[in-house]
Structure formats: structure tokens, C-alpha cells
């Protein structure tokens, strides 16, 4: 169930970004990250929203977190290499 909610939340966050609702997207990505802190896609979405909002001080660390997670040889959350 959590995996389904995680994927649904991520899709909602992306839809909100496409609508230009970056603050709301951040809240949704935070919910996804509560379900799975190792979701690199949610970290990338969050970084993108920070960038669009001009919150440049938060963007690099958030992108770095996403990149670090994406570089893991094995993802415990999905059981596959390099995909979250």
C-alpha cells in the first residue's frame, strides 16, 4: 500500500509542478519522502520546485541528496539497481 501511495504522491507532485504550483508540490514531495526517504525522484522533484521558487540556497543540497541516492548500487526500497 505504501508503495502505491508513494507512486501516486510522486505523480501528483509532478502534476503540480506542471501546473506551476511549486509550494504545493513541495508539500506533496515531503509526504512521499515520509513514506520513503530514499526516493530519489521525489528529491529531484523537490529540488526542481525549490529552483522554480527561487529558493536557491536549498536547491543544491536537495539535488545532491537525489544524486547520492541515485548512485547507490542497490536500492533497499525497490530491490533494484539504481532505480527508486
In a domain, 6, yes or no: yes
In a domain, 10, yes or no: yes
The per-residue pLDDT for 59 is: 86
Straight-line distance from the first to the last Cα atom of the chain, in angstroms, rounded to the nearest whole number = 16
Rounded Cα distance between 54 and 79, Å, is 35
pTM, to two decimals = 0.79
Written as tens digits, the pLDDT of the chain (84 aa) is 788 999 999 999 999 999 999 999 999 999 999 999 999 999 999 999 999 999 999 988 998 998 888 876 544 544 444 444
In a domain, 13, yes or no: yes
In a domain, 38, yes or no: yes
In a domain, 39, yes or no: yes
The domain of 34 spans 2-70
User: Residue 30: which of 45, 52, 15 has the closest Cα?
Assistant: 45
What domain count does the chain have?
A: 1
Q: Give SS3 for 78.
A: coil
Amino acid at each position: 500500500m505504501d508503495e502505491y501511495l508513494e507512486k501516486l504522491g510522486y505523480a501528483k507532485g509532478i502534476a503540480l509542478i506542471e501546473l506551476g504550483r511549486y509550494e504545493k508540490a513541495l508539500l506533496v514531495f515531503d509526504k512521499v519522502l515520509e513514506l520513503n526517504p530514499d526516493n530519489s525522484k521525489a528529491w529531484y522533484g523537490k529540488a526542481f520546485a525549490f529552483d522554480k521558487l527561487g529558493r536557491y540556497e536549498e536547491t543544491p543540497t536537495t539535488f545532491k541528496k537525489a544524486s547520492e541516492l541515485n548512485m547507490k548500487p542497490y536500492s533497499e526500497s525497490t530491490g533494484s539497481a539504481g532505480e527508486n
